Structure 1
Amino acid sequence: MTLEILTADSLSPLRHGFFTRKGGASSGVFKGLNCGFGSSDQREAVATNRTRVAEAMQIDPDMLVTLHQVHSPDVVTVTAPLTKQHKADAMVSATPGIALGVLSADCQPVLFADAKAGVIGAAHAGWSGAMAGVLEETIDAMIALGAARDRITAVIGPAISQRAYEIGPEYFDRFMDEDPDNTRFFANGTGDKMQFDLPGYGIHRLRNAGVNAEWIRHCTYSDPDRFFSYRRSVHEKEADYGRLISTIRL
């Protein structure tokens, strides 16, 4: 099956892609393009899937760089293929030929570019990482490499939408403690639960940081044929879940 790659005009002409689960070698609950070595999928299948992604990005597999993601605000500046997997949630680079890749399964994969300066970034941003500042830290790291804030474009890929993301009151309280205006990202759910708009929150933080930002408006939870979803796997009592990959390169 052919890979399905979602793109954003605003990131052109840089080669990039928000890959769906279609076209991979994995089977079972991981059926399709599972790119997460942290899953319990067969390692050979994940390696094959990553090779297919690298081929689509027109690079060798060892030039596809990913991280050990830990929901942090930490950013790695990449100048060459990494010799070890760093614990961090974002990367920036000004080195041609290296593809930055982030994994997700409901959290926001965010790709950044200042094409004129030749600087790119990629971030994994769940609610905790976004609240901790991973998006702003990525922007600052790009500027340190020569990007201009007003030229940076950030695109949020497939992520869980508000209608599918119910959270408890303790999370709502944390967002209110951060900023009472965050109430705009919540709607009433069942009982004392709330529905949280993760992409809306991400766009708000990105635009407040002075960059152009958009969401491609695909919900991971609501489209099982195209996307993996951690929350859906929990609701369906599956043993594990696949990871989507989003990549960008110079």
Structure 2
Amino acid sequence: MWWWRDQLTGPDGSTVDVGFTDNAGGVSTGPVASLNLGGAVGDDPGHVRQNRAAVAAAVGVAPGDLVFMHQTHSDRVVAVDAHGGRDAEGDGVVTASYGLALAVLVADCTPLLLADPAAGVIAAVHAGRPGMMARIVDNALDRMAHHGATDPVAVVGPSVCGRCYEVPLALREEAAAIAPESRTVSWAGTPAIDVAGGVVAQLHAREVPTTWVPGCSRESDRLFSYRRDHRTGRFAGVIVQRSRGKIPHV
């Protein structure tokens, strides 16, 4: 079920669990086997519900408290809380509510998890190429600050690597004008974009301590990859606040 998991601890002892799923341990079959968490990839809705419930149980929340987004490759970041607003439409979701798990779905895009454990503010961000170029990273950090975050840290999950993300030259240069660190070449020496590299550079520009989890979705058969398989499932980055120190500003 897990590609990688860890726990972040604030200076006051507050804790946040973070992790990235892989494609094992679910009930889906065919091209989306087995732990597909995406609801719009042609999978049986009942299988998706079972898979999501299994992840919710693994992180210790009720299925209804595992919050997914309707992702649209935008720069939109929305806030949710324990009292409603769970049906988030956008590509970043922030909460200052204890007990909610936030999830971001990917199959090559960069999953970004953000947390300020002491302030009690967490976020999950879908940072694909359009989102990175639209600076969704900055939007998410700004939205977290609005909810009281002062010292966020970041965890960047596995995604398609720059060597596997060939693009037209003009598109690479457009991305590089926004994040120079994203300019790269593919295995074949053709123009390519390192989206995760651009995301990490944007985090460093905001002086956010960052953990970059290794892994290329296209190269690993443990991860879903649209570029590799076209019809495929979605894995997720998941973040949940376990305990808190001071009460967050909301």
TM-score, with length taken from structure 2: 0.88
**Alpha-carbon contact 1:233-1:241 (below 8 Å) kept:** yes
- Paired letter, 1:56: A
Q: How does 1:156-175 map to 2 (within 5 A)?
A: 156-175=156-175
Alignment length (residue pairs): 237
Q: 3, 21, 24: which is aligned to 2:23?
A: 21
Q: How does 1:37-52 map to 2 (within 5 A)?
A: 37-52=39-54
Does residue 1:187 correspond to 2:178, yes or no? no
Partner of 1:77: 79
Higher mean displacement: 215-224 or 163-172: 163-172
Q: Distance in 2 between matches of 1:17 and 1:49?
A: 16
- Paired letter, 2:208: V
Q: Structure 1 residue 50: deviation in Å?
A: 0.2
- Paired letter, 2:32: F
Q: Unaligned stretches of 5+ in structure 1? A: 235-239
Secondary structure, in 3 states, of the residue corresponding to 1:7?
Answer: strand
Q: 227, 244, 247: which is aligned to 1:231?
A: 227
Q: 1 or 2, which has the higher helix percentage?
A: 1
Q: Percent identity?
A: 34
- Residues 32, 95 of structure 1: CA spacing in aligned structure 2 closer, same or farther, 3 A cutoff? same
Partner of 1:247: 238
- Paired letter, 2:209: N
Q: Distance in 2 between matches of 1:81 and 1:228?
A: 33
Deviations 1:111-166 (A, max 9, x none): 11111111111100011101101111111111111110xx2111111111122111
Q: Structure 1 residue 212: deviation in Å?
A: 1.1
Runs of 4+, deviation exceeding 6 Å: none
Q: Structure 1 residue 187: deviation in Å?
A: 2.5
Higher mean displacement: 10-19 or 90-99: 10-19
Does residue 1:204 correspond to 2:213, yes or no? no
Partner of 1:67: 69
**Alpha-carbon contact 1:65-1:82 (below 8 Å) kept:** no
Secondary structure, in 3 states, of the residue corresponding to 1:35?
Answer: coil
Q: Structure 1 residue 109: deviation in Å?
A: 0.6
Q: How does 1:94-243 map to 2 (within 5 A)?
A: 94-148=96-150, 151-178=151-178, 182=180, 185-187=183-185, 190=188, 193-224=190-221, 226-234=222-230, 240-243=231-234
Q: Distance in 2 between matches of 1:185 and 1:90?
A: 24
Secondary structure, in 3 states, of the residue corresponding to 2:35?
Answer: coil
- Paired letter, 1:47: R
Deviations 1:53-95 (A, max 9, x none): 0000101100011111011111111113655633200011110
Partner of 1:87: 89
- Residues 184, 109 of structure 1: CA spacing in aligned structure 2 closer, same or farther, 3 A cutoff? closer
Q: CA RMSD in A?
A: 1.9
